[in-house]
Chains A and B, each alone.
Chain A
Amino acid sequence: EIVLTQSPTTISASPGEKVTITCRATSSVTYMYWYQQQSGASPKLWIYDTSKLASGVPNRFSGSGSGTSYSLTIDTMETEDAATYYCHQWHTPPTFGGGTKLELK
């Protein structure tokens, strides 16, 4: 099983600030996926195939990486971006990272 480790586990950012969340895998994966989960809601696919934005995702978000190291970046933090973000890989069995809680400072 591929274990995904996200860092940081919690981060506070002010509006306009740049935010980067990283996800490291214990083995190389082909693609990384990211989900956004707002409090009390289901996770939503946010970034797929490492760097493609899901429908409706603002272009201040971006994804990058390869092999065992991936990241999600927000160029300029907005209030609506406060949420928990999970990375995910689907080499069997599919696994998720532990989550990064992004708070508004």
Chain B
Amino acid sequence: QVKLLQSGAALVKPGDSVKMSCKASGYPFTDFIIHWVKQSHGKSLEWIGYVNPHRGDTDYNEKFKGKATLSVDRSSSTAYMEFNRLTSEDSAIYYCTRGGFGTPFGFWGQGVMVTVSS
């Protein structure tokens, strides 16, 4: 079955960067776009952007341009998101998702909790 296994929680300092991973299994990795979603504590969900594992192209929510960088490693069926110049506003849970059932968010990873604190 489709699985998206994300990397573990991260505690990072303000101004630093963090890179998280999302390992896909249970389907051909290059057949589906991977999206990333942010959920701030107790708040709703924001689409960050997507990466196409087949072509490598990306698209970003205007709000996250320059903040997030999405990439893939086809050899390991893994997608990555790097977040830079972190502030307390970036403390959140970040999910990778895969399309299905007509939506980009048919399947979800377990999420990565990122805490930005000095």
- Chain A interface residue count, CB cutoff 8 Å, equals 21
Within 8 A of B (CB), among A1-26: none
Chain B residues with CB below 8 A from A48, complex form: 101-103, 106
In whole Å, how far is B55's beta carbon from the nearest beta carbon of chain A?
18
**B44 and A45 form a contact (CB under 8 A):** no
**A42 and B95 form a contact (CB under 8 A):** yes
Chain A residues with CB below 8 A from B80, complex form: none
Cross-interface CB contact of A93 among B47, B105, B109, B111, cutoff 8 Å = B47
Within 8 A of A (CB), among B71-96: 95
Cross-interface CB contact of A97 among B44, B62, B108, cutoff 8 Å = B44
CB of B45 closer than 8 Å to a CB of A = yes
In whole Å, how far is A66's beta carbon from the nearest beta carbon of chain B?
16
**B45 and A49 form a contact (CB under 8 A):** no
**B61 and A43 form a contact (CB under 8 A):** no
A-side residues, CB < 8 A to B, are 31, 33, 35, 42-45, 48-49, 52, 54, 86, 88, 90, 93-99
Can you list 28 A-B pairs, Cβ within 8 angstroms, ordered by A? A31-B102, A33-B103, A35-B105, A42-B108, A42-B109, A42-B110, A43-B95, A43-B108, A44-B108, A45-B103, A45-B106, A45-B107, A48-B101, A48-B102, A52-B101, A86-B44, A88-B103, A88-B105, A90-B103, A93-B47, A93-B61, A94-B35, A94-B47, A94-B105, A95-B47, A96-B46, A97-B44, A98-B44
